[in-house]
Structure 1
């Protein structure tokens, strides 16, 4: 059983999934077939991949907030335990990488300042040899960039699976926080502030519009409003 969401949010989520499916095809086309991945091409891919992953997380967060945790999530847990995973699902999980929780910025940079790019002392480069680190792992099937693109594609094809996973995780963490009231437990996969990559000036207009429309509703949907310590950032 799910709660009904606002119609314009449902339309924007459908629009976001269509956009993400098109972005996945573009990102896959940019990957070189067995050739080294140049740094410029890697940066170009990450400019699209980071905000696309952020948009996918917000779609998943809105879907997870609609799930009735006491009913559907528990029933899904029992069904998942009884039903073995199919070969295609197991293969897609092994060959993809999608991070559900965004990294939180630490306090080290704010307190100690930015770390200098180079340490003290002269830096001598041997110009007769190729510059080290100019290329990265570029196997189309196994590079970190390719795995992230495959993980995004799997999330776009089946967002309900990740939404149920997030709903079950939030239910478990919420029950733990009720037993141990002094612990800080993160209940939101979204980091505070701007989504990753959302402030880039070269961000496509449609991707920027989807992020700006879904970010605040997704963050509000992750708020725990009952009990002591419930905060606007999904932390308890």
Structure 2
């Protein structure tokens, strides 16, 4: 029997900074019954250009990404922000270009954030155990643009031994915001300082989320504070990689 195929849009940040998220994504998608293709030629989704007001640059990147992804029936992204860019903002970019708008809408309709996609398939991790506690941060784009909230917590509930603790202000921005942290570093630092304090106050041993940019920002601040909290992308825990090197660790 032929297995359905999904295309994995890895994201440039995962590719450059945390490839294990990509490998974890492939592992869980295969466990969920899919064959995984990683389309050649994929690059950045254009989010930094879009957020910085470089509309022309964002349109150029979006066209290339649409052309790369449109041959596939299902596209899965291990990032709420990149997934949100493709799903919510690509159609905005081509609102005045009917031909490209149709192509953007077609790609948007078949693009899914990985945690919500896995939950929709009814998949749960089997035989994965992690005896520790974790706090979950709801990344802004995934939460507000894609409605990712319940799904990761439901998936994590199937990890044996994992205690999910409440994070105060879980839906509050971590201060990363893509290029926001570069343009407004003082504000960004103040926001992540409050977030780091809330994470430590939760008593959790692990920090989990669905966006690498947010995780790198929070993990960096926690490290500078001398905290022992370790950060992972949720899909890494679901793939049984939660006892490996955390984000920012080299061991």
TM over 0.5: no
TM-score (normalizing by structure 2): 0.26
Query: Higher relative CO (CA 8 A, sep ≥ 6), structure 1 or 2?
Result: 1
Quick check: which one's helix share is greater? 1
TM-score (normalizing by structure 1): 0.27
Structure number, greater radius of gyration: 1
